[in-house]
Structure formats: structure tokens, C-alpha cells
Chains A and B, each alone.
Chain A
Amino acid sequence: MIRLSRNVRDGLTDFWLAGPATLAMIVFIFVPVLVVAVLSFTDYQFGARDFVWIGLGNYSKLFGSALGQKAITNTLLYVALVIPASVGLGLFVAIGLHRMLDWAPRLSHLLRTVYFLPVAATLVAMSVAWQMVLHPSLGVVNQFLTLLGGEPKSWLSDRGLVLYTLAVIGVWQTVGYNMILFLAGLTSIPPELYDAADVDGAGGGWSRFWTVTWPLLGPTTLFVLVVTATNAFRVFETVATLTKGGPAFASDTLVYALYREGFVYFKAGYSSAITMVFFAFLLVLTIAQFRIVERRVHYK
């Protein structure tokens, strides 16, 4: 029997413990990132035997063509719509439910459950349900509009409307999540601060909010903003289920475009370039998120 030195044995144990996970990260994360970066400079198509280096060709196609620009501006507009609505409503609901804990705790808990429900529900199945809610003739929204004497609308097939409809569904899905994060922030505010504000004459609801709640929620708000932005940038399920990017690319977004170009049209090179642009946006946001998390820890 060979006696291994202590160092070698320790090394083997370390490798046995951390090796498989590290190897899996290399194979399924780091190598693919490199490959996708390289592919984005080629005209490679799935199934082709060969490819040609085309430099920044895919990127100039993405930023230069009407379709590519549309995917980018649609994504940015979607993010810009979802962020303020989802964060604002999340904050509003959290403050309301937090106050309600004093006089109707059970109702407050019940409402919190309701608001969180979409976060746990399967988004694709719920999108199919939304499709029926928004159905041009059978949907409850249009039936209600007609009842009020309004014009029924094609929520999902009207070019000018479709992105807003998707944004509403995006907000519907994320409000509860933001509410939970804000509630955690609110619970950590020491009640003495409100008493102090009362003594200083800042007793009214609004001035309490501006002098105590808002400043102390600052770090939470920043975190919520970035998380909401990151999730909004990845919008895919609702687009794939409800519109497939249509009508006439009016709801095309980056992730849907990368799916369609890559896996429906098999243009791996172009799809890789879209992937890299999407990655760049998310990288900035995720690094911001790390910074905030770090600062929040110090803050405590």
C-alpha cells in the first residue's frame, strides 16, 4: 500500500469535495460564456459545417436594423414601465399592510398572502389564464368595458397596446415580491424613531413617511429597484406564451429575440450577439446589486 503524504491526501480530499461543483461550473457556465462570446463574431448557423469570421457584423446588424433596434427599445420601454409601477405599488402595499398590522393583523396577513400568490404561481399557466381574461370577446375585461359603454380592445394584438399589456402582467407578477422585501425593511425600522418624530412635531402620516420611513428604506429601495430591473430585463415567459413577439414585432424583446433567432431560425452567430448585449445589460445591474447587498450588510 502506498502511503500518501498528508499534503497529497488533503489535496485529494479538497478535490473530492469541491472538484465536482467547480468542474460543473466550468463546463456549464464559464466555457459556454466564452463560446457564446466567440460565436457572436461569426456567421455560424446550427448544423452548418463551417463558419466565417464576420467581426462586428452581428452587432451592427442588431444595432443597425429596424428589427434589432425594436427588440432593444421594446425591452428598455418594458423595463421602464415595470420598474416604477412595481416598486411604487410594492412600497405602497407594504406600508399599508404594515400599518394594518396594528388594527387588523389577520386581514393584513391575508392580503399579504394574496399579493404574493403570483410569485409562487406558474407564470406560463397564469399567462394562459391572462389570455382568457384579456380575450377580445370572451374576456372579462372587455365584457366589463362593454358593460360600461366602452369599446372592447385587442389587448394582445394591438401594436400600440401590446407592450403595455405585457408590462401590466409583469407588474402583477412582481408586486408581491417587492412588497415582501419592503415589509422586511419596514419591520427593521425601530419604533422609537417614530416616537422621536412625534416629539419633534412630525406626527402626521406624510411627514412621518418623509422624515423616518423613506430615508431608512433607502438601501432597501435601491435593492428592490435593481432586482426589479434585472427580472424585467429577462422577460420571456409572457412574451413566448401570449404574443411570440408580435404583432409585427411590437412586443419583441431581447430574450425572445435571442430565442427566435437562435432556436427557431438557427442563426447561432446572430443570436450569440443578442445574448452578449443582453448579458452586458444584466452584468451592469448584477454588479450594482452586489454592491448594494455589500453596503446593506455594512449598514447593519
Chain B
Amino acid sequence: MIRRSLSRGVSLFLLIVGAMGILLPFIWMVSLAFKPRDEIFSADIDLLPTRLEWNNFVVAMTQTDVPLYLMNGLVVVLGILVFQILFTVPCAYALVQRRTRWRTVVFACVLAALLVPFHVTAIPIFLGFAEMGILNTYWALILPFIPTAFGIFLFRQFFSQMPKDLFDAARVDGMGEMEIVWRVAFPLALPAATAFAIFSVTAHWNDLFWPLIAITDPELATPPRGILYFRDQESGDDVGPLMAAALIITAPLVLAFLLAQRKFTQGLSAGGLKG
């Protein structure tokens, strides 16, 4: 009995110490975001501000381009998601429901595409976009992510578990294949779509690699790219507003995660299969 409580006590202690370590940058970020200037530049350790300084947020939202970055992030992330779904769902449906000889070829393509990390394709896509003159546009940020082998794979798996009779019944009712995709298959695949949407939105809201390459115009910066513009402009003076900006950019996904934890962990761990 004593041994058991002792071992529980030890593991509880270690887990809480670990959790504090995980929280450290979050706490420090929130604390600096709310600290008045003189408290930030003091040598004493004060984890919490003595009074809440909202002005840091006012500065971040009115005197910097942070609202613009958020807007750009939203446009890019939603644009990518909409096109991904439009392209991916019919293809996944065809891989399950259509019996043609092309099926194996397309599925082989999907598997091969799963092997290619985005970084590998960056140089040729950059070259092509430069040639077409579409660098520094929203399209440059959206187009490369439309093909998603992982999405096709995920939806295909989901569709293959649906009863075939369902689709046959829809055909008897005279529905065309495209109509079946959007009016029968897709609504039933909403759990897969949610998982995929969470994965896609998180990945592209957080991405830095491609925006760093495709965008040189600060007006088009996504949140991660934008906060680096902000940081590189301020000379170590505006720590409070900078941390407020970091907090504002991190907040949407963290809040969404806290509100829909189960869906988030499912969506993000499904993404692990993407490699």
C-alpha cells in the first residue's frame, strides 16, 4: 500500500515537472505579452506581471501588420482546403467505386506521391511560378498544396468501408456519379473530412518553408512569415507587442484544440501517416 502511494507520488511529481517544462514557453509568452515595458526589462524573475498591460495587444493590432497576416493566413488556409477537397474527394471515390484499369495506376501514383516531402518539389515549383509570374500572389501560396496524396488515401479508406448498395441505390435513382460523390459519399465522409481539415489547416497555418520562398511582399505574408517580419523590424525594443503578436497568431489553433481535443488529436495523429 505504502509502496503504491509512493510510486504514484513519484510519477505524479515527475509528470507535473514535465508539464511545467512544456508550459514554460507558453507561460513566458503570455506573461511578457501582458507585462508593462519596465517589467520586461527587469532582471528579477517575475513569472507573472504585477498589472495587466493591454496596450501590447493594442499596439500589435493597430500599429503593425498583424491583422493583415491573420487575414492572409485565413485566405490561404481556406483556399488550400477548399481546392484540396474539390480535387481529392472525387478521385478517392473513383478509386473505390469505379472499376477501370486506370485505377491501379492512379493508386500507384498516390502511393508514390506519399513518399515525396514537399521540400523536394520546392525548387522546380519556384522556377515554374517565376516563369509564369505568379510569385508573390495568393495563388503561389495555394496551388502547390492542391494535390494531397494523404487526403486521397484518407478518403479512399473511408469510402471503402461504406456499403456498396448505398451507391447502387443512388444510381438506380438516376444520380450521376459526380452527384453521388457530393450528395451521398461526401456527407457520409464528414468525420474523415473533419480529420483532414484539421490536419490541413494546422499544417498550412503553421508552415514557414513555402511562404518564405514564394513571398517577398510583406503584404502577402502568412502569420508565421509575418511575425518574422515584425521581429526583424523591431530592434529588441518592442518585446511586449511582439509577444502579444505571437500569442494572437498561436491562439486560434490552440483554442480550437482546447475546444475539440478529441478531433484534433485524431486529425493530427492521422497526419503522422503522411510521413
Contact = CB atoms under 8 A, between A and B. Distances in A.
B120 A20 contact: no
Contact of A227 (B90, B100, B224, B275): B275
Which interface residue of A25, A27, A283 has the most chain B CB atoms within 10 A? A25
A113 B178 contact: no
A21 B45 contact: no
A33 B106 contact: no
B40 interface: yes
Interface in B255-270: 256-258, 261, 264-265, 268-269
B229 to A, nearest CB: 11
A11 B100 contact: yes
Contacts of A91: none
A13 B181 CA distance: 12
Nearest to B144: A28
A122 B207 CA distance: 8
Interface stretch (A76-84, A139-147, A187-195): A139-147
B239 A263 contact: no
A279 B117 contact: yes
Contacts of A205: 7
Interface stretch (B49-57, B146-154, B160-168): B146-154
Interface in B70-115: 86-88, 90-91, 93-95, 98, 100, 102, 106, 109-110, 112-115
A118 B24 CA distance: 11
Contacts of B40: 138
B130 A46 contact: yes
A20 B115 CA distance: 20
Task: Classify the interface of chain B: helix, strand, loop or mixed.
Answer: helix
A122 B268 contact: no
A122 B43 contact: no
Given A115-B18, A129-B25, A122 B205 contact: yes
Which interface residue of B7, B88, B119, B245 has the most chain A CB atoms within 10 A? B119
B238 to A, nearest CB: 12
Nearest to B205: A122
A268 B127 contact: yes
Interface residues of A, number: 94
Interface string A157-177: 000000000000000100111
Nearest to A268: B123
B11 interface: yes
B64 interface: no
Nearest to A137: B43
A28 B223 contact: no
Nearest to B93: A17
Contact of A29 (B121, B212, B246, B249): B121
Contacts of B117: 234, 278-279, 282
A286 B116 CA distance: 9
B120 A140 contact: no
B116 A124 contact: no
20 contacts: A17-B93, A20-B86, A24-B147, A28-B143, A32-B120, A35-B123, A36-B123, A96-B14, A115-B19, A121-B254, A122-B249, A123-B208, A126-B25, A132-B32, A132-B239, A143-B45, A237-B209, A240-B208, A262-B122, A278-B117
Going nearest first, the 4 A-B pairs with the smallest beta carbon separation are A124-B224, A21-B91, A32-B124, A32-B121
Given A117-B23, A125-B249, A258-B119, 19 more contacts: A10-B98, A18-B95, A21-B152, A28-B146, A28-B147, A32-B121, A36-B124, A96-B15, A111-B19, A113-B258, A117-B22, A121-B26, A125-B247, A126-B29, A128-B228, A180-B269, A234-B119, A258-B122, A282-B117
